[in-house]
Structure 1
Amino acid sequence: MGVEHGMAVGGGERAERGPVAVVTGGASGIGRAVVDDLTTHGYRVVVLDRDVPADGGRAGADRVRWVAGDVRESGAHERAVEVALTRFGGLDLFVGNAGVHDGGVGVRDLPGAALAELARHVLDVDVVGYLLGARAAAGPLAGRGGSMVFTLSDASYLVRGNGAGVAYAAAKHASLGVVRHLAADLAPAVRVNAVAPGGVVTGLRTADGQRVFAGAGEIESAVKEFNPLGVMLEAEQVAPLYRFLASPAAAGMTGEVLRPDGGLAVR
């Protein structure tokens, strides 16, 4: 069961002005950078993650609430949205970000049963988790003309050279379809866009808990050699793009994907 963490601050939370977001996978990596960027710019945020801070999220609870839960369960998303509504008074932005990697496994690298188990796990987190989050958030967002922004990947477009295996590539390609379908389905009430980073080194893990990015020096060289600009971005450089897509400056955008990947589209 998911548990809400964070100390209430009198009765002023609901009255406090500023937009409200739910961010999945906001405890680390790009998700954490997005939470920090949003709160710095006036948002109040509910974070849905399996991990919560050691203090239970009490620090900064006037702006951030934590809900412990698994994105593969519809109830976890419903609880996070309910916290946004009851504690902060509404919902303006849903960021679907929680994800898991497959470790670069190819179709012939595992026995059939093991490959099926891995693929189901990756697809459940990276695709079904997005669908369940969108379902829980759609109604409240529509009532306020809100937005959804999803984390995709260079693996939503590429299938070789980026470390993605067959399950992760399948999941991220599928997530691109989710974004496009939701954009058409929820227009004009809710705008749906995405950010597809490439080569951003984070704490992303595989289904069995192994870190995807190990050996920092080797990873940096490989990333820079792979993209035309020869860059490796930090999560903090990517995070403002989520806020932009939710802002009035992007009012004419839906079904679009921003690709901070060093120019892989022209590779």
Structure 2
Amino acid sequence: MSDKKTALVTGASSGIGLELTNTLLARGYQVVANSRTITSAGTLTASDRLALVDGDISKQETAQKVVETAVQRFGGVDLLVNNAGIFIAKPFTDYTTEDIDRLIKTNLLGFFYVTQYAVEQMQKQHTGHIVNITTTLAGQPVAGVSASMALLIKGGLNTVTKALAIEYASEGIRVNAVAPGNIDTPLHKNDDHGFLSKMHPIARMGHASEIADAILYLDAAPFVTGEVIHVDGGAHAGKW
């Protein structure tokens, strides 16, 4: 094992994933960054501390390659951040079979395969940390944002975070989650930022750097596991 920590970041070519990758590199981590076309996206450049892996993380072979790359290049896996995800908001009766298929593939299978491979490696090391990116809406839905099927899976990620934290605590593996509010990333470039800001008691959109800060805190907090940290301007606190 290298004396430097090695992190895996999915959905790393833009938004939160890109910010996190750059932050981890600046903090001395070695990083394996993944997205469907990360080598051609032009946002990251491979180096001696950064490996880029193209591929759909919902596919088992991509997930296996991401973890194998970390082991072969850097000697192990210390941190996995399950950041890749999509959010489809629409009335419940408007969801299509295609919508559900996309949500399951990216948000569920994209978590499942890479986490399985990462846990198997962490068990060999007797240490490791997993952080799942969910959403504050999973615990506090709001009127005017209909997204029930997206929240079904994101809420499940909050639950599995706690279940895995208990399952693997005795093996030195921690599992936590970060539940963002509306974050100012390219995902929202065409949305009404004024409306999105008003969804938080602290009436602004969050910054990707604030999500990265939460992940860094969790990774440096060895007595914290099974936690869902809300970085949402207070939106999870309830109706205001």
**Paired residue for 1:181?**
163
Structure 1 ranges of 4+ moved more than 3 A: 53-60, 161-164
Tell me the equivalent position of 1:45. Answer: 31
For 2:181, give the aligned amino acid.
Answer: G
2:141 maps to 1:159: yes
TM superposition score normalised by structure 2 = 0.90
Pair 129,60 (structure 1): closer, same or farther in 2 beyond 3 Å: closer
Residue in 2 aligned with 1:129?
Answer: 110
In structure 2, relative to structure 1, the CA distance for the partners of 1:162 and 1:260 (3 Å cut) is farther
1:117-165 deviations in whole A, cap 9, x for unaligned?
2112112211221111110100222315110011011122122247352
- Residues 1-267 of structure 1 aligned to structure 2 (within 5 Å): 17-54=3-40, 59-102=45-88, 104-110=89-95, 115-142=96-123, 143-161=125-143, 163-188=145-170, 189-204=172-187, 212-215=188-191, 218-219=192-193, 221-247=194-220, 250-267=221-238
Q: Determine the C-alpha separation between the residues in 1 that align with 2:105 and 2:44.
A: 30
CA pair 68-162 structure 1, distance change in 2 beyond 3 A? farther
What are the superposed Cα offsets for residues 170-208 of structure 1, whole Å, 9 maximum, x if unpaired? 12111112212211222222100011010102233xxxx
* Percentage identity across paired residues of the two chains: 28
Question: What is the letter of the counterpart of residue 158 of structure 1?
Answer: Q
Q: Which runs of 5+ in 1 are unaligned?
A: 1-13, 205-211
Distance 1:214 1:256, change over 3 A: same
Amino acid at match of 2:218: L
TM-score w.r.t. length of structure 1: 0.82
User: Secondary structure, in 3 states, of the residue corresponding to 1:196?
Assistant: strand
AA matched with 2:81: V
Q: Paired residue for 1:6?
A: none
SS at match of 1:253: coil
Q: CA RMSD in A?
A: 2.1
Amino acid at match of 2:73: R
The number of residue pairs the alignment matches comes to 236
Paired residues of 1:155 and 1:162 also in contact (CA < 8 A): no
**Structure 1 residue 109 displacement after superposition:** 2.2
Shift of residue 18 of structure 1? 1.1
CA offsets 1:10-34 (integer angstroms, 9 cap, x no match): xxxx86x410011111111111111
Structure 2: gaps spanning 5 or more residues: none
Residues in 1 aligned to 2:152 and 2:206: alpha-carbon distance in whole angstroms: 24
